[in-house]
Amino acid sequence: MAALTADTARTYEAGVEPVINDITAVASTTTYEGSCIELASGLAQPYDGTGTSGFGGFALRGIVSTASGGEKVRVVSQGVATLATVGASAASVGSLVYASDDGTFTLTSGTMPIGKVLRHVTGTTCQVYFSADALSNR
């Protein structure tokens, strides 16, 4: 995967109650549905792989914020999502998952941690329990 350039629907585990949050977006930013969101000084923006800010969740729908800002990004801040995860296998259950940009997930540390492999599905596809930094005690 690579950074998102279009809306990308995420599949969330049925029966797991998600935590939904509305977070003010960084001004002049395009956020696609499915984007992994980082919080920059408390504002939401798609993760570009360079920030050291906290994980905010996944965008539920895309928005384009204006130069004056103030628009809200609706995010799933906690839940279980099915994600293609670079390096994942059946032996990865319990491993930390990191985002390397807003659409790429890996087991390689050094990028933004988002959660843990809950269940291996097939190949490198896993169900990942994720929790925004504001909700997490990791």
Question: Side chain identity at 65, as an amino acid letter?
Answer: S
pLDDT single digits (tens) 49-82: 887 789 999 999 999 999 988 899 999 999 999 9
Distance CA 12, CA 42 (A): 25
pLDDT single digits (tens) 19-38: 999 999 999 999 999 999 99
Q: How far apart are the first and last CA of the chain?
A: 26
For 110: left if phi > 0, alpha if psi spans -120 to 50, otherwise beta; the answer is: left
pLDDT value at position 73?
Answer: 96
What's the full length of the chain, in residues? 138
